[in-house]
Structure 1
């Protein structure tokens, strides 16, 4: 079942199902909640799952002006406070992962644990394996046909608004996000970083993200690309549920997670 929440920034469409600790699923750029289809039922068997569609995506209307991750993070904070009503786990894919990171930084009191899948903390021009692909992402490009069809099927703004939204998203990718590793070091929520071994975000960038977040965990899924939740849903589901269920990371030979030696006088 879906409904609208009248948030300060935008009237936001969301769906919810299941019972238990709240879990907010944050979809990727150009996407709708349909792209969570392979995961949501199993996640809802263990959690109360909330699926908001961000401004200019799915059933949620566009807002005048450019798109920004920070505005979408503000919307997500409002959503957690207004609709969820308590701190929640955040699972974000691609742009949703960026939003999850920003929420974790701005409002650590609202984030229990986080999972970020195929996420980046710098603009696409700095972290995409092939930055030139941005130039080919025109509204009528064949590579965007899947996303265009998702959008046109449900948008309240009308199918002819697609070129506006497509341009806004690509412009955002060119210049955002602009987080530093020093900022990421302030992420307090236990975080799992997930990426496909052939993701459009380079493994070097993903490793930098993992290393910057204290105590985070890293999972590289073999035989997968940027759409790893669609390609390997069982693997991603297991990773997410295990991360959310564990109390602490315990290994036999810790290095990165080894306790710092006691200081002597």
Structure 2
């Protein structure tokens, strides 16, 4: 049920869909909102998990402030939602910026994290490929329309929010593989085979994780949750249902790590 919750004194839009199992927190992408994940993979996940989502400050139905966007602040926001709304540890499923936030939360508060799924996420800003984005393209127009339809700040704030986002994209995050190696929770790294995150960067993320698994989805882009929601939902459900580390017939990487 959607409602507003005071998170560090700021009214924050939260949707707790309920569900029969362990809490699962959906973390939306940048320039986006929770509806995109709730409407694409949310229903399938809610069959087995208590699905919760929230719009970060300056996104979706949550108003902005004068402060710039920083991933560290977004991670703090997420920690508060886990504490105040979820009421404890949860699986984190994050797309793009949401995946970055999930990684930061796992480093900052591992006690609040069960398993993580990060979709099209980069741990350093140099892993995000620079592409020319036409402001008149259907994608940009759709993002702008979705923002205007939801934002309490009104259509005039769209340019401000986009400007804050792109400044952040160009300078954050700045994690290293040594940082990533400190994440002890199981993590499923998912990416489209034509993603905005460089495939070599995604592989380095996966290889740095002590309990990582990797899925490269063919015929998919950075918009994987919208393009192939059923495939993505299946991958997530299978990963979250596992009760132990994978046991394979010909372990190589996992044999070296001692997890097979």
Q: Same fold (TM over 0.5)?
A: yes
Deviations 1:184-235 (A, max 9, x none): 0001111000000000111001001101111200000000000111111111
How far 1:257 sits from its partner (Å)? Answer: 1.0
Is the Cα–Cα contact under 8 Å of residues 73 and 99 in structure 1 kept in the other structure? yes
Other structure's SS at 1:257 match: helix
How far 1:10 sits from its partner (Å)? Answer: 2.9
How many Å separate the matches in 2 of 1:82 and 1:38? Answer: 26
How far 1:254 sits from its partner (Å)? Answer: 1.0
Which of 51, 56, 60 pairs up with 1:58?
60
How many Å separate the matches in 2 of 1:210 and 1:74? Answer: 24
Closer, same or farther: CA 105–33 of 1 in aligned 2, 3 Å: same
How many Å separate the matches in 2 of 1:82 and 1:69? Answer: 20
Partner of 1:27: 28
Q: Which TM-score applies when normalising by structure 1?
A: 0.92
Partner of 2:99: 97
Other structure's SS at 1:223 match: strand
How far 1:14 sits from its partner (Å)? Answer: 1.0
Partner of 1:144: 140
| Structure 1 unaligned regions, length at least 5 | none
Deviations 1:159-197 (A, max 9, x none): 111000000000000000000110000011110000000
Q: In the TM superposition, what are the counterparts of 1:39-118 in structure 2 within 5 Å?
A: 39-118=41-120
Q: In the TM superposition, what are the counterparts of 1:143-182 in structure 2 within 5 Å?
A: 143-182=139-178
How far 1:154 sits from its partner (Å)? Answer: 1.1
Other structure's SS at 1:209 match: helix
How many Å separate the matches in 2 of 1:9 and 1:253? Answer: 52
Partner of 2:128: 128
Q: Which runs of 4+ in 1 moved over 6 A?
A: none
Deviations 1:14-57 (A, max 9, x none): 11112310000001011112211121111001000001111110
Which of 248, 253, 262 pairs up with 2:250?
253
Other structure's SS at 2:16 match: strand
CA RMSD of aligned residues (A): 1.5
How many Å separate the matches in 2 of 1:208 and 1:31? Answer: 26
How many Å separate the matches in 2 of 1:177 and 1:10? Answer: 24
How many Å separate the matches in 2 of 1:220 and 1:143? Answer: 23
Partner of 2:8: 8
Is the Cα–Cα contact under 8 Å of residues 19 and 49 in structure 1 kept in the other structure? no
Other structure's SS at 1:96 match: helix
How many Å separate the matches in 2 of 1:171 and 1:143? Answer: 19
| Structure 2 unaligned regions, length at least 5 | none
Number of residues of Structure 1 aligned to a counterpart in Structure 2: 255
Is the Cα–Cα contact under 8 Å of residues 9 and 75 in structure 1 kept in the other structure? no
Other structure's SS at 2:68 match: coil
How far 1:142 sits from its partner (Å)? Answer: 5.6
Other structure's SS at 2:219 match: coil
Higher normalized strand content (fraction of residues): 2
Partner of 2:209: 213
How far 1:259 sits from its partner (Å)? Answer: 5.9
